[in-house]
């Protein structure tokens, strides 16, 4: 089988039994199971959720997105070999570690295949929770341009690019377009302050104002767990995005959980520790791919300027990347996943056929 065939680029066409349209994001597709199948699996597998909890099959892909575009390679290579399995393996590792350390559960109930999660429906908190330990990326660009206040937090003068901050900064932004919140623009991914969350906790889907303290605690503790584990591997945990939601367990208790993904090269910046000590930043995350794109095109402003989205989409559509570029990205993802988990990332010649077989034989979910 060719390299292109081993990549799972299209993940929204699996014959999984569902009553609802498949929801497909930049990387993952979500298949909401029928009410009968959800109830059956909860009963058969003993998942710790309420008996009427909606379940979904979440299938990751090997697609790679950056700057809100999906990028493809030459020769029909429509993704990055090993990327999907690497992302899932890393998230699985951190979610398990969080649970072991008594932080909080995640939305994942079962892992039938390296590309697949069975998840419970959560009521998402409408905040993308960003935690930062170093000043870099968009924050550094804003700081260079004179900004000193970020999400209500004042940064001191004299900071240098890629410098470690005195404390972990929490810089939340909106998840989706939220309407009618005083002082918060009605747009996706706009920065908000802790005071905004406190004053409008219901609009952000928090159950109580006290849960803002809990979300910050889980964010900081989760960041700390990952940072400590990565430091043992001589890797620097720079910044990351967390997402949270509410679920109901089998006893009827509501609880705040981690959801989406955590500590992956897609949602975080991870630097090589030895190189950083020598004054050089070597990325073990998607940031390296972003930098490559910025250096590839003559007018990088297209990738940075949200007013030029039409040009950006055209750029991604009309520029197939060299196979060597995507293989280099593959080495980054697979390499950091194997370093974190201590296990090889399982690669497949035909992931789609494997997924269908497992979901048919062991879960009876295929049409």
With 0-12 / 13-18 / 19 or more C-beta atoms within 10 angstroms meaning exposed / middle / buried, residue 21 is: exposed
pLDDT of residue 346: 85
Question: Considering the entire predicted model, what is its pTM?
Answer: 0.93
What does the pLDDT read at residue 124? Answer: 96
pLDDT of 2 reads: 74
Q: What is the pLDDT along the chain (367 residues), one digit of tens a residue?
A: 578 888 999 999 999 999 999 999 989 999 999 999 999 999 999 999 999 999 999 999 999 999 999 999 999 999 999 999 999 999 999 999 999 999 999 999 999 999 999 999 999 999 999 999 999 988 999 999 999 999 999 999 999 999 999 999 999 999 989 999 998 999 998 999 999 999 999 999 999 999 999 999 999 999 999 999 999 999 999 999 999 999 998 999 999 999 999 999 999 999 999 999 999 999 999 989 999 999 999 999 999 998 999 999 999 999 999 999 999 999 999 999 999 999 999 888 899 999 999 999 999 999 9
How distant, in Å, are the alpha carbons of 7, 86, 328, 350 from that of 347? Answer: 9, 9, 16, 9
Instruction: Provide the CATH number for the domain formed by 3-122+339-361 in this structure.
Output: 3.30.200.20
- The confidence score (pLDDT) of residue 1 equals 56
Per-residue pLDDT, 186: 93
The distance from CA 198 to its chain's CA centroid, rounded to whole angstroms, is 25
How confident is the model at residue 349, as a pLDDT?
87
* Every domain of the chain and the residues it spans: 3-122+339-361, 123-277
In the numeric block, which tokens belong to residue 155?
A: 């940064």
Fold classification of 123-277 (topology level): D-amino Acid Aminotransferase; Chain A, domain 1 (3.30.470)
**Kind plus residue range of the DSSP H or E element containing 39:** helix 35-45
- DSSP per-residue letters across 105-158: -BSEEEEEETTEEEEE--EE-SEEEEEEEE--HHHHHHHHTT--EETTEEPPTT
Pairing verdict, β 69-71 and 108-113: unpaired
- DSSP string of 159-177? --TTPEEEEEEE--EESS-
DSSP 270-332: EEEHHHHHTT---BSSTHHHHHHHHHHSS-THHHH-GGGHHHHHHHHHH-PBPHHHHHHHHHH
Q: Measure the CA–CA gap between 110 and 147, rounded to whole angstroms.
A: 44
- Tokens at residue 101, please? 């350390």
Residue-wise pLDDT tens digits, 69-79? 999 999 999 99
326: number of Cβ within 10 Å:
27
CB 116 within 8 A of CB 58: yes
């Amino acid at each position: 089988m060719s390299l292109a065939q081993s990549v799972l680029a299209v993940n929204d066409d699996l014959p999984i039994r569902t009553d609802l349209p498949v929801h497909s994001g930049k990387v993952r597709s979500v298949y909401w199971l029928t009410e009968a199948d959800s109830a059956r699996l909860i009963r058969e597998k003993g998942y710790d959720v309420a008996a009427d909890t909606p379940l979904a099959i979440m299938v990751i892909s090997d697609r790679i997105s950056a700057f809100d575009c999906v990028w493809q390679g030459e020769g029909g290579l429509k993704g990055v070999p090993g990327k999907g399995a690497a992302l899932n393996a890393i998230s699985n590792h951190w979610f398990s570690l969080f649970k072991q350390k008594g932080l909080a559960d995640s939305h994942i109930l079962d892992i039938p295949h390296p590309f697949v999660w069975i998840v419970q429906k959560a009521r998402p908190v409408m905040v993308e929770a960003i935690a930062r330990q170093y000043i870099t990326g968009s924050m550094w660009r804003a700081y260079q341009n004179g900004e000193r206040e970020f999400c209500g937090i004042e940064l001191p003068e004299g900071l240098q690019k890629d410098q470690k901050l005195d404390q972990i900064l929490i810089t939340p932004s909106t998840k989706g377009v939220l309407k009618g919140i005083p002082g918060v623009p009605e747009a996706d991914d706009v920065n908000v302050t802790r005071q905004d969350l406190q004053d409008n906790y219901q609009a952000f889907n928090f159950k109580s104002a006290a849960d803002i303290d809990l979300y910050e605690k889980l964010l900081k503790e989760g960041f700390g767990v990952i940072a400590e584990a990565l430091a043992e591997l001589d890797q620097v945990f720079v910044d990351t995005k967390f997402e949270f939601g509410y679920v109901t367990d089998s006893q009827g208790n509501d609880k705040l959980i981690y959801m989406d993904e955590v500590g992956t090269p897609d949602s975080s910046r991870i630097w090589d520790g030895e190189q950083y000590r020598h004054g050089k930043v070597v990325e073990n995350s998607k940031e390296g791919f972003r930098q490559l794109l910025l250096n590839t095109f003559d007018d990088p402003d297209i990738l940075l300027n949200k007013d030029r989205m039409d040009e950006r989409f055209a750029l991604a559509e009309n520029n197939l990347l060299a196979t060597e570029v995507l293989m280099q990205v593959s080495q980054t993802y697979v390499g950091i996943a194997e370093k974190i988990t201590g296990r090889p990332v399982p690669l497949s010649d035909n992931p789609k056929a494997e997924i269908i077989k497992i979901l048919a034989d062991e879960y009876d979910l295929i049409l």
